[in-house]
Structure 1
Amino acid sequence: NINYWAPKFFKDTLLDGVTFYIKIEDSTGIAYMKLPPEWCRISNLENGVYRFRVDVSKLKQEQYDELPNELQQAFDKYHDNSISDDDQDWYDRKWYMVSDDGFAFTFDHNAISNGGVAISPFASVLADSLSLDAAKDNIDIKDKLDTIRIIHSKLPTDSNGAPTLDLKTARNFDDQMRSRLPDGVVSITSPSSLDNVPLKGSGNEGVYDTVNNGLEQLFYDLGISSSLFGGKTTSSNIVKESVKKDSNWIYTNLFPMLEAYYNFELSQVKTKSKIPWNLKFIRESNFTLKEDIANYKDQLSYGGSRLDYLASVGFTPDQIISQLTFEQQALDIDSIMVVKPTSNTISSKESSTGSGKTVVKSPNGNINNPNKGNVGRPETDNPTDDTDRLNDAA
C-alpha cells in the first residue's frame, strides 16, 4: 500500500531524522512496525537501502509479546548467553543485525560514518524556534510595560517628614483605592515624593524586528522562501520557484530511497517469465502539474514513453491495462468517437469521381462500419461519420 506508507515514511523521517522499520507479512497482507531510534543504529547501505542493527540489551521483557518473531528469537538468544564470537548476525554480543525485512530511511548521508546515528536536516529549526519564542515573550513584556500606570497617594507629613496620619488609617485609604483600580493600574501609598515615570517605550524598541528576523531565519533553515507563507514579496514567481525547489529536493532525496526499497522488494518476487520489475515515481508536483504533464506529452513526439505520460495524468498500471484495453478492444472507442475535421485531422488527399462524389474504400471490408478497427486521421478533406482514416501501419 504505497499510497499510505510512502507519505508516512517521509513524514516520520523528516521529524525524527532517521526511522527504522521491520516488515511483517502474512497471508492477509503486509504491515510495518516502527522501532524506536534509541534501539537502533544504521549498519550499512545495500543497493541503496539502509540496513540496521538493534541493541537487544535495551529490549524489556514486557515488550516481548509485541515484537516480531525475528526480534523475539534474538531476545531469547541474548538472554541465554548463546551468542558466539563468530556469529555473523551479532556485533559486540548485543547488537543484532536485522534481516532484509528491516530497513531504515534517513536524509543524513553521513549516518554510517557517524556510527549509524543520524539527525534531521531541519534540526537547527529547534534552536531557531526557541529564539523565536523568547522574542515573542519580549513582546508580551513590552506590551505590559506600555500599559502599566502608577497612581501615587502621598501621606501628609510634618516639618520633620514624619507622617501625620496614623498607619492604620493610611492602610484603609490604600485598600479602598486598590479595590477600585482597573487592571494595569498600580497604587502606591507612601509619605515620600514620587515623580511621574512613564514605562512606555522602556522595553526593547526593536522587539518586533527581532521576531521578524527570527521568522526569516526559521524559513531559511527550512529551505523555504518566507514569501511562500505570506511574507513580503512583489512577485508571484518567487513563490513558484520556491515550490519547484522544494519539489526538486523531494525528487533527489526522498524518491531514490523509496524506489531503492520497493525495487528490492520487487526483486524478491519470482515471475513465470523471469522478467524483473522496477518501480519509478513520476517526478511531478501538484503545484506545477500542468507543466509536468506537458513535458511528458511533448516527449511523445520524439518517441517518449506513453506509460510515463499516462502515469502523469493519474493512471495506475492496473487502470492502464483494464480501462484502455476495454476501451480499445471491447468498445472499439475509436470507431465511436470519430475525429472531427480540423486543421490537424483533415488530409489534403481525396479521391473523387467525375460526378464530384467522394469514393470511400474500406481497407477492412466492413460495409456497415468501415471505420471499425481503424485509427488515424480521415483520408479526405470532407470526412463523414463513416469515412476511412489513414492507418498507422501505412
Structure 2
Amino acid sequence: MHHLGILPGLFDPIHLGHVEIAQTAFEQFSLSGVVLVPVNKDGVRNIASLRQRQHMVQLATNSYPSLSLFTPSSFTSTATACDYGVLIKNIRYSFSGIHLWLIIGAHEVDNLLQGDTRDLKNIDLLLWPRVGDRVNNAIHKCKARGLNAYALNPRKISPDSHTVRLAIRHMIADEGTLHPDVIRYIADTGLYLPGSEKKLQKVVTPSRYLHSLSVRETAVELAFIHQINPFKCSVAGLMHDYAKNMPLKEMQRIAKKHGLTSDKKTLRSGALLHGLVGAHLCKQKFGIRDEEILSAIRYHTVGRPNMTDVELCIFVADVIEPKRRPFEGLANIRQVARKSLRQAAILCLESARKFILASGEEYFTQSLDALENLINAASN
C-alpha cells in the first residue's frame, strides 16, 4: 500500500522550514510522497491570494521529486485550515487505495480536536514542533481521542510565516530562508514588500505605471545576475518615479518645505526634482527607511559619485527596460548591463550627455561628477 503525507498550511509564503518538514516526513516514515495543500484559515487575512500561494508552493517543490502541490478542483479557497475533515475527504476522492498521514504543527492539535474527528480515525498524524511546543503532550491528547499520532523530528525548528514575512519586508530574507525561485517571484511581484502598485497607479499616468513595472522587472533580473539584494531593487524599481507626474509647483513646495535641495537648476526642473521628492514621499508615505533604496530613487535620473550596487541597478534599469523608446546605443547598453553595471552606467551617462549637449543644454554637474567617478574607478 502507498503511504501519502499531507501537509496543509497557509504558506504565506512557503519557506524552507515547510520544505524541511515535508522532506523529513517523507524520509522518517518512508512515505511514497508528500502533497502540500495551501488553504485559508478563519479569522486570518492572507497577504497573498490562494493562486499566488499555490504558485509559490509549486516553485518551492519543483526540485523535490518526493514533494508536490495539491490543488483538487473541489477544494476551493473557502476551505479553512482547521477543517481537516473536508481536506481528508478531498484527498481520499483524489487518491484511492492509499494510507494517509496528516502532517500538522503540534500547536494545531487543540483546533483539530475541537472539530469532528471521525474522518481522522483511519489515518496517522505526524506532529511537527515550533519553539516551545510540547509535542508529547499533543500526542497524548490525540491518542486520548483514539487517533494515531507520532512526533516528527526535523533537523531544525521551522520559523513561523509571520517572522519570514517580516524578514522579507525588511529585505533580509535570503536563500537560507526561501527557495531562490520563491525569492524571484516575490521580488517580481512585490509581495510582502513596502511600496504599493495600487497607490502608485493613482498618482502616475498609465504609461508611467507600465514603465515602473518594467523597471522593477528589469532591476530584479539585473539583481539576480549581479548578486544584488533583489528585494531592495524591486522596491526601488517600482517606486522610482512615484513623483514623476506631480505638478512642478507641488514638487517645489515639498522640496523647499523639507530642505531637499537648494540648487536652482534642480528646483526649476521636474525631470531633476522628481527623484528627490519621490524619495522623500516614499519615506513618509510608505515607511521606506532603507537608505540604499531611497538613494536609488533620489538619484535614478542624474546619478551621483560612488553609487551603490542598488543605485547602479536602478539607474541602468530605468534606461534599458523593454518599454524604453529605442535610441542609438541602447542595444549595446543592454548587452553590457548583463556583464557590468558600472560599464553600463558609464554608457548611459555618456549617451545622456551627448543628447543634452546636442540640444544646446548644459550637462548637469552632478551627472558629470558621477561619470568621472565611474571612469576613474574603472581605470584603477
Q: Given the two structures, how large is their TM-score scaled by the length of structure 1?
A: 0.22
Q: Which has the higher helix share?
A: 2
Q: Which has the higher strand share?
A: 1
Task: Name the structure, 1 or 2, with higher relative contact order (CA <8 Å, separation 6+).
Answer: 2
> Which structure has the larger Rg over C-alpha atoms?
1
